[in-house]
Chains A and B, each alone.
Chain A
Amino acid sequence: MSRLTHLAAVGLIAVVGCSLTACSGGANNTAAAPGTSASSSAAPVTITYNNFISNGGNEANLDKIVKAFESANPGIKVNVKTMAYADYFTALQTDIVANTTADVFDIEYANYKAYQANGVLAPLKGVDTSVYPANLADAYATDGTQYALPSSFSNVVLFYNKDLFDKAGVSYPTADWTWADEKAAAEKLTDQAAGVWGDYQPISYYEFYKAVAQSGGNLLSADGKSTAFNNQAGIDAATWLTEKAGTVMPTAAQGAGTPDFDSKLFADGKLAMWHTGIWMFGTLGDVPFNWDIAVEPGNTQHASAMFSNALAVSANSKNKEAAQKWAQFMSSSDVMVSTRLAAGWELPPVADESKLQPYLTAGKPANRQAVFDSLKGVALAPSIGEGQTQMQDIITDQLTEAAAGRASVKDAVAAAAQKVDALLG
């Protein structure tokens, strides 16, 4: 009997202990605070940094930058926590609710507006934004105040398999190509009997807003309060994306849209042209065929999708000064630039393009200049705040319907516009 009571007590203690440790994760942040509120720089400060950008292979590279920062700033220690992109924003949201956000954390452009509008981000004072490309710095400023600093950027280009082009006797894509050229080439390159497809472009919101811009239109009106794609530009864009399925591109029923389907198809040498991001360079290192990239063709004009990540300082941080120092270091230091370029990590956001020279000759693909040429016409992703994901889902769903032939392109575009307008209402 007494032994059983003992056991039960141990169990009880274990349970209570568990719930206590769960709480103490949050308590740590505040525990660091007292020592740092003093203005003197003598006391060492520990700041926390939550990120997803180093996840999946660049952890050691981030560590290198952290070490360089710590030796340049002996009074500051950086505690890094890395999470997978898929879990990151759920975790961040939970942290915000529980008031346990890290001092510095990653965000991306698409959700910047929602966080800024809700007071999650601390305004950054006295930042020299001239070191960043102007459009990138502006993307994270609201009413003239900087709320985050770009940490990297990447864009989407047209990848192509040179061997398949040679075999079909089609000339390689150039920066002058339009949709019509791409379509004609894709039709010639497609050989369904051999399992070879001419083209692959995801049927999704991300491709759509860009395709609308490539047709000379805009997804949203200038004030962002209503849609602007229920017109010829929108229909052209939706037609461009959806008509490929089943003709020059595999359909959803054939596996399109499932994770890694397209990258595997390209790596297997069964895909001639592929619209995807420059982050794929690294994984295509050892494919047994020749490939290169070109600026994405446009319809009436060039417009490239650009994605960027940024570093924000928490509005609740007890060490804003030290946090901002780290955010600036991580977004603009030479160590960061050289580490990113050497590793083939996403591009560092520097205004001084001469610093990016090593990137141009860093290996395959040969035409890395196309990455920078693409930046001359950028279609910035619309950011509408809280309804962002809902808008993206609505547009992707309607495009999926049109691609599967369950709705006409015209009806799908109209339905998407009507639903997004209701959301923006």
Chain B
Amino acid sequence: MGIRSASPSRRSAMPAGPHPQRRRRRATSAKARYALTVLAFLAPSAVPLAYFTIYPMFSALWVSFHQWNLLSPMRWVGLDNYVMLLHDPTTQRAFVNTLTYIVGYLPLVYIGGLGLALALNAAIPFRNFLRGVYFLPVVTSWIVVALVWRWLLNPSVGIVNYVLSLVGITGPGWWTDPAWAMPSIIIASAWKDLGFVMVILLAGLQAIPADLYEAAHLDGAGWWGRLRHVTLPMLSPSTFFVVVISLINGFQVFDQVYAMTGGGPAGASTVVVQRVYDMTFRYAQAGAASALSWMLFLVILAITVVQLVGQRKWVNYA
């Protein structure tokens, strides 16, 4: 930005032709027109972003310092909401549940997505068809997916427990059992997002030059050696992208929880965003809910910054 705005003056400092003034004016007006055009193109996304995301974000910050039941005027309480949330066992549990979700979900979706990408990068029949099929869940509504998974994982009539019973295993209570509610959500989420991770990694795989594999092959590297020393390092930018996006999405997990368990049984799968929703729309605590939203935002921001800094150590931009 600074460099660009400096350029007109630098140009005018150059030995000028017969009408330096006029030339400069024409340059500025062209520049202004260019800027206007850019703005016009940006507006369709920038205006809603400012109005529906950035403005509400900061008004939520303002609300977070108040007690507000959405009915009466707000009452200033300073940092009370933040202090309350830090000591609130239900909120702590929601953070623990969210972390549990991420710890279970991220490895599952990454390893699964990588496996799919590797398989569908090879020359196998129906490759394009299969790529499309695995991507289908990504574009399917979460409500539909959640209902289907609820049914698949139904403890008494679900197909998963039926198949398990065929091999002599008594299936768990899945989403009706507090110990299994979160694993149920993790499985459904990983299944839905596999296709997304697959597509990103597939693009990354195709960008790896074939001569690297050739060289590794000549050096006597086997399948594992090539995966370990060529594929994974060359894939690190894609991996980094997937991990950043998945972590952000993971902290914001809500739809599937809401549709599959509603946070139950007895709060066993309540995540942070579910708690924000409950506090805002069900418990008349919009101030505390806004504070929790900001706490979540700061956590995500901190983790993302750490990742951006840490990437220098392991991400390999060829």
Contact = CB atoms under 8 A, between A and B. Distances in A.
A99 B191 CA distance: 43
Given A19-B51, A96-B70, A390 B283 contact: yes
A386 interface: yes
Contact of A93 (B43, B72, B264, B281): B281
A254 interface: yes
Contacts of B178: 406
Interface stretch (B99-107, B151-159, B216-224): B151-159
B266 A255 contact: no
A250 to B, nearest CB: 8
B44 A11 contact: yes
Interface string B130-165: 000000000000000000001000111100000000
B265 interface: yes
B181 to A, nearest CB: 11
A390 B265 CA distance: 15
Interface string B26-69: 00000000000100110110011001000000000000000001
B30 to A, nearest CB: 12
Nearest to A404: B265
A389 B283 contact: yes
A120 interface: yes
Interface residues of B, number: 30
B80 interface: no
A8 B41 contact: yes
A401 interface: yes
B282 A390 contact: yes
B156 A386 contact: no
Contacts of B43: 8, 11-12, 15
Interface string B174-187: 00111000000000
A8 B265 contact: no
A292 B93 CA distance: 46
B210 to A, nearest CB: 40
A253 B177 contact: yes
A75 B283 CA distance: 41
Contacts of B284: 114, 386, 389
A387 interface: yes
Interface in A90-144: 90, 93, 96-97, 114-115, 118-120
A5 interface: yes
B99 to A, nearest CB: 22
Contacts of A387: 283
B282 A389 contact: yes
A97 B283 contact: no
Contacts of B40: 5, 8-9, 11-12
A252 interface: yes
A93 B70 contact: yes
A14 B44 CA distance: 8
Nearest to A386: B284
Given A114-B71, A115-B71, A386-B69, A401 B173 contact: no
B44 A120 contact: no
A5 B37 CA distance: 6
A253 B156 contact: yes
Contacts of A406: 178, 266
Contact of A401 (B44, B154, B266, B282): B266
Interface in A1-30: 1, 4-5, 8-9, 11-12, 14-16, 19
Contacts of B41: 8
Contacts of B51: 19
Nearest to B177: A253
Interface string B100-129: 000000000000000000000000000000
A96 B156 contact: no
Interface of B: 37, 40-41, 43-44, 47-48, 51, 69-72, 150, 154-157, 173, 176-178, 264-267, 278, 281-284
Q: Considering the complex of A and B, which 10 residue pairs feature the smallest CB-CB distances, nearest first?
A: A8-B40, A118-B71, A253-B155, A253-B176, A11-B44, A389-B282, A397-B266, A254-B156, A386-B284, A253-B173
Given A118-B72, A401-B266, 16 more contacts: A8-B44, A12-B43, A12-B44, A19-B48, A19-B51, A96-B71, A97-B70, A114-B69, A114-B71, A118-B69, A253-B173, A253-B176, A255-B157, A386-B284, A397-B267, A406-B178
Interface of A: 1, 4-5, 8-9, 11-12, 14-16, 19, 90, 93, 96-97, 114-115, 118-120, 251-255, 258, 386-387, 389-390, 393, 397-398, 400-401, 404, 406
